[in-house]
Each structure stands twice: as structure tokens, then as C-alpha cells.
């Protein structure tokens, strides 16, 4: 099966993150950054990865519950482990063979779950948008560090914004 545009865009976005992370050591990855309200790059990467892992973990039951995700602290402290996990997520994204329905569970008020119908691709879209939002935050954090790191020009920028900016330059 040929991956969809959504799958390719997701894989490319996660690969951008990996490319940035390969420049960091564990100390930089774990560093508490004032510009990020004293959170770290690692905490944002953990959050991104866990949402994807939660989606994949729920696929066999056709249910996803992001609130119930398992928080793996190794993802926020061990940059090599995080990179490995992101590679695994890319492979999982590219292996989705078809869109299918699932139920999304969300709980805004304790003890009052809300169930809503969704699909794998709809949740993949949500995860991609969620990832891009966190990449924008990671960009701010990495840019605030003393050492200069190479950050792709489109890192943390929505594809629609990139397309809009390119159309302006073509005029």
C-alpha cells in the first residue's frame, strides 16, 4: 500500500523532530527552560510521542483515550530512547492500511466521560496538528539555548501556513 499524503506528512514532520533531537545530548534535552515555563524539550517530546502511542494502543479495540495514556519518563530524559520511539511511531504511521472507525473517550469533568465517534485518519490529523503545535514550542526552547542548533525553516509551522507563505513569494 502506498502511504497517504497524511501519513507521509506525519512521517516527514516526525523526521524533522528527529533531525533536531539528534543534535542534543541528554543534558540539553532535559534542561529546564525558563522560556518554556521551566519545562524541557524532553517533556514536549514525551507528550507528542505518548499521544501517538495512545492512538496506536487503542486501535485494536477501536477506542482511544488520550487522558489514560501511560506516561513514560524515559521519553523525556533519554534523547536516544525518544528518537528510537519516534522512528517506531513513523513505521506505525506508515503501516496503517486503511481508515477505520473508532470511539474517542474524553473526560473533562471527573467521572463524566464523553464518547465521540472518530476514525484513525481523523485522529492522525489531530495528532499531527498537536505535534506541530508542540514543535513550535520546541523551536522556541531550542532557540533559547546557548548553543546554536540547526532548525529546519518549516519546523513547527503548519503545512497550510508554509503553502500560503510560498504562494506569496511566487507572486
Which residues, in sequence order, are bridge partners of residue 116? 104
Given this model, what pLDDT does residue 171 score? 65
Contacts of 125 (CB under 8 A, 6+ apart): 6
Cβ neighbours of residue 18 closer than 8 Å, sequence gap 6 or more: 83, 86, 87
Written as tens digits, the pLDDT of the chain (171 aa) is 688 999 999 999 999 999 999 999 999 999 999 999 999 999 999 999 999 999 999 999 999 999 999 899 999 999 999 999 999 999 999 999 999 999 999 999 999 999 999 999 999 999 999 999 999 999 999 999 988 899 988 899 988 888 887 777 776
What CATH number should be reported for the domain whose range is 5-170? Answer: 1.20.120
The pLDDT of residue 52 is 98
Residues 65-101 as b/e (b if ≥16 CB within 10 A, e otherwise) read: bbeebeebeebbbbbeebbebbeebbeebeebeeeee
Rg (CA), the chain: 17
pTM of the full structure: 0.93
Amino acid at each position: 500500500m502506498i502511504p497517504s499524503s497524511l501519513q507521509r506528512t506525519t512521517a516527514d514532520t516526525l523526521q524533522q523532530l528527529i533531525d533536531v533531537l539528534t543534535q542534543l545530548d541528554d543534558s540539553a534535552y532535559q534542561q529546564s527552560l525558563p522560556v518554556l515555563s521551566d519545562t524541557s524539550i524532553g517533556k514536549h517530546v514525551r507528550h507528542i510521542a505518548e499521544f501517538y502511542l495512545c492512538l496506536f494502543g487503542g486501535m485494536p479495540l477501536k477506542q482511544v483515550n488520550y487522558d489514560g495514556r501511560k506516561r513514560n519518563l524515559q521519553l523525556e530524559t533519554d534523547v536516544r530512547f525518544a528518537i528510537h520511539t519516534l522512528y517506531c511511531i513513523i513505521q506505525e504511521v506508515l503501516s496503517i492500511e486503511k481508515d477505520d472507525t473508532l470511539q474517542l473517550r474524553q473526560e473533562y469533568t471527573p467521572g463524566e466521560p464523553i464518547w465521540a465517534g472518530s476514525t484513525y485518519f481523523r485522529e492522525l490529523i489531530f495528532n499531527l496538528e498537536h505535534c506541530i503545535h508542540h514543535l513550535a514550542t520546541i523551536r522556541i526552547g531550542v532557540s533559547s539555548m546557548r548553543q546554536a542548533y540547526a532548525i529546519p525553516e518549516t519546523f513547527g509551522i503548519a503545512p497550510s501556513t508554509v503553502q500560503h507563505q510560498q504562494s506569496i513569494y511566487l507572486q
